[in-house]
Amino acid sequence: MRNYFVLLKDYLLIQRSGLFDSEYYFYNYPDVRQEKINPIWHFIQFGWREGRNPSLYFDTKYYLANNEDVQQAGINPLSHWLLTGLYQQREPSPFFQSPKAFNKQNIEGDNKGLLSRYLTCILKNKNKILKPEPRDFSFQEDKDFIDRLYQKKHGHVINYVNPRKFTEKMQIYKLYYREPILQTLANKFLLRQFIADKLGEEYLVPLIAVYDDIDSMSINNLTNQFVIKVNHGSGWNIICRDKSQLDWDHAKFNLNQWLHTNYYWKFREWCYKNIPPKIIVEALLLDEKGKIPSDYKVHCFNGLPKMIEVHFDRFSNHRILYLDLDWNILPFHKSYKQSSEKPPKPANIQKIIEFAGKLSKGLPFVRVDFYLINEKPYIGEMTFHPGSGFSIFHPQEWDEIIGAWFDISDFYQEK
């Protein structure tokens, strides 16, 4: 009976806090959804002990790992944060911090016992949502994060004194090249105007709609086929071939997660850090066989195109090739399986190369991504940090061969 009373107090506190996202919990933990269990009740009974998160804003494992007193006491970590950790400015996740509005409040002086503290907190905050605020990482925190992850991925530290590898120079690029133009071009919405000014609107993927939030969207107002993406990240796309078959609830869930996630957190790519999120709906481009067209990604170094990365059958048998500008295969690959056959050389490959040169002028490095529809090029995006510089070259000597193309001396003085 006593245990049930504690669980009930946790339930009321968490329910009133506004920090539990039932939709998030259901989609991330389908076993709970399938069993049709009340998600809050599941979390307070089992979920937090299993390391499950109640929302995007709170990381159960992170909170317990960084608060040994909570872990040893066996307290529900979210309840602890709402009652105590919030006021003590304990961080609820790696990417969020306690709201500054509460930093001068405390409940240490409440001597009426645990139940009174619960009830006081519930009543005091019944009309508030205590959502944590995004953390602002310092340059040193970014560097420490990148150094740790690079060593984990590549098995050695970054050579900051005499960097020779492309992957090393890419991390230095992320850290030390912070020109505002990168934030403009990494923003998929603002990029459209840049392309229109440089090349013309006819080379843009047709735009259907732009939204600031999910509530203003209506699937009924969209065409039958489209692509939904957000402007402030990479790989966050929803492809719809038939809107009558689209799981709109799941699509909205994904969009909500993306809109509330700063892509910069993932690999500390600075250019994404301060992009105001938007939802973009574009036309779905298909080739003559009704398939997603191949990607032609031109890697440009200091405004000079140097190689072309081609992706085939992205959603079935995804393969990749790297070729030089004369359409000769370069004998290396990275993350994806290398294709065993060379695709036909596009008739207007020189036009693609020319466009990539115009768009990359003045930039130390950028990859310009094209689609070809009936031999007409469309620009998809401009990518500054492919694979965030963590993809491993096979064979590894190509890391240095490609690295020799990348001159970083204009923004980084080797020590």
Q: CA-CA distances (angstroms) from residue 1 to 4, 5, 17, 46?
A: 5, 6, 24, 18
Q: Residues 174, 386: contact at Cβ < 8 Å?
A: no
Give the tens place of pLDDT for each residue, 41-65: 999 999 999 999 999 999 999 999 9
Instruction: Write down the pLDDT at residue 107.
Output: 45
Instruction: Write down the pLDDT at residue 322.
Output: 96
Tell me whether residue 136 is exposed, middle or buried, using C-beta atoms within 10 angstroms of its C-beta: 0 to 12, 13 to 18, 19 or more: exposed
Distance CA 169, CA 404 (A): 10
Question: Which range among 54-58, 134-138, 184-188, 285-289 shows the weakest confidence by mean pLDDT?
Answer: 285-289
Give the tens place of pLDDT for each residue, 318-344: 789 999 999 999 999 998 778 878 889
| Confidence class for position 92, pLDDT limits 50, 70, 90 | very high
Which two structure tokens, joined as six digits, stand for 274?
């301060």
Domain layout of the chain by residue ranges: 2-134, 183-285
pTM over 0.85: yes
